[in-house]
Amino acid sequence: MKRRGDAVDGVMLFDKPEGLSSNGAMQIVRRLLNAQKAGHTGTLDPMATGLLPLCFGNATKFSADLLHADKGYEARVMLGRSTDTGDQTGEIVEEKPVVGLTLEALEAAAKSFLGEIDQVPPMYSALKHKGETLYKLARRGETVERAPRRVVIHEISVEDFDGESFTLKCLVSKGTYIRVLAEDIGKRLGYPAHLTALRRTRVGTLTADKAVGLEALRALGTPEAVRGKLTPSDTLISTLPRIDLSPEETARFMNGQRLALGLAERGRVRVYGHDGVLLGTALVGERGVLAPERLIAH
């Protein structure tokens, strides 16, 4: 059966609006592009806004690379009130007036989370327990024990503290829940806390200032015009070392053959043909042998 849409390759750096799920965003942009194949690089909460890299065609082969990337966030945190979801979409479960809290105490509490920490995932999350997602259990009023996860807070700072709310900026490893980080900072200070806003500003080396919003894409009018906003498929693997092959090496590589090139690089690399076209990714072993990993059909 023929697939709907056109064979479109590339990455859309999408600025997701509030209230839209990651999958919903992907389907909308896929339709605007009239693209056959689509995928995203990790979900963003419906409440959250900001950078959501969407992959189309050959770029979907490399979407997993950004699942493991560090991510940057900017959140607005309210102290003195917590909710069952950890953000403003939930029901209030605890309140306590914030009295006499100084910026210095707040900064010290936030900075105490720098580095490797253990974080307990929230009940309102997409993680699964015995085959069922935690948020479905939470909606039924059930709570199950969750094992702590080791995550890394690379950078953290607070701004615009008004005595009750503040802006939290952080760069974190994969799997970090900003809702939980905000709640834990509150606990360190002796106050309940929750998020009132969340924006993702960075995924790996990609930044939200390069992202395109939904209304801007819709205003372009045609799939061809929307495709003009795509970045190349190798956007997702731009940090990997680049290897360029000769015509003969290109043919052998695309046939899945290992190439004894005596390369100095080690580990994963991105590979290009003699004409500068991306061929895929490969692994370079101890002896400098190039072994195909994920190939793009040409």
pLDDT tens digits in sequence order for the chain, 298 residues long? 456 788 899 999 999 999 999 999 999 999 999 998 898 887 888 899 999 999 999 999 998 888 888 999 999 999 999 999 899 988 999 999 999 999 999 999 999 999 999 998 876 766 776 777 776 776 777 777 778 899 999 999 999 999 999 999 999 999 899 999 999 999 999 999 999 999 999 999 999 999 999 999 999 999 999 999 999 999 999 889 999 999 999 999 999 999 999 999 999 999 999 889 999 999 999 899 999 999 987 6
Give all strands of the β-sheet with 267-272 in edge-to-edge order: 242-244, 267-272, 278-284, 289-295, 259-260
In 148-298, alpha helices (H): 178-189, 214-220, 223-227, 247-254
Q: How many CB atoms lie within 10 A of CB 260?
A: 11
Instruction: Please provide the CATH number assigned to the domain covering 240-295.
Output: 2.30.130.10
Q: Catalytic residue at 65?
A: no
In contact, 293 and 249? CB cutoff 8 Å: no
In contact, 178 and 198? CB cutoff 8 Å: yes
220: tokens are 């372009």
In whole angstroms, what is the distance from residue 245 CA to residue 252 CA?
10
pLDDT for 53-77, tens place per residue?
999 999 999 988 888 889 999 999 9
Helix axis angle, 103-111 to 178-189, nearest 10°: 130
Q: Which secondary-structure segment (H or E) carries 108?
A: helix 103-111
For 42, phi then psi, to 5°, come to 120, 140
Instruction: Please provide the CATH number assigned to the domain covering 10-67+207-233.
Output: 3.30.2350.10
- Which residue's structure tokens are 């190349």? 232
In whole angstroms, what is the distance from residue 224 CA to residue 6 CA?
11
Q: Which secondary-structure segment (H or E) carries 107?
A: helix 103-111
CA 148 to chain centre: 21
Exposure string of 53-82, with b = 16+ CB inside 10 Å and e = fewer, is bbbbbbbbbbbebbeebbbbbbbbbbbbbb
Residue 151: the pLDDT is 95
Residue 268: the pLDDT is 94
Statement: 71-203 belongs to CATH 3.30.2350.10: yes
For 24, phi then psi, to 5°, come to -60, -40
Residues of the chain with CATH 3.30.2350.10: 10-67+207-233, 71-203
- Residue 129 CB partners (closer than 8 Å, separation 6+): 137, 144, 146
Residue 44: the pLDDT is 87
Q: How many CB atoms lie within 10 A of CB 193?
A: 28
Residue 1: the pLDDT is 46
Write down the catalytic residue from 45, 65, 84, 184: 45
Q: Count the alpha carbons within 13 Å of 283 in the hemisphere toward its beta carbon.
A: 4
Strand positions, DSSP E, 97-225: 115-119, 128-129, 132-133, 149-159, 165-172, 193-203, 206-207, 212-213
In whole angstroms, what is the distance from residue 282 CA to residue 290 CA?
6
pTM: 0.89
In whole angstroms, what is the distance from residue 234 CA to residue 128 CA?
32
Residues of the chain with CATH 2.30.130.10: 240-295
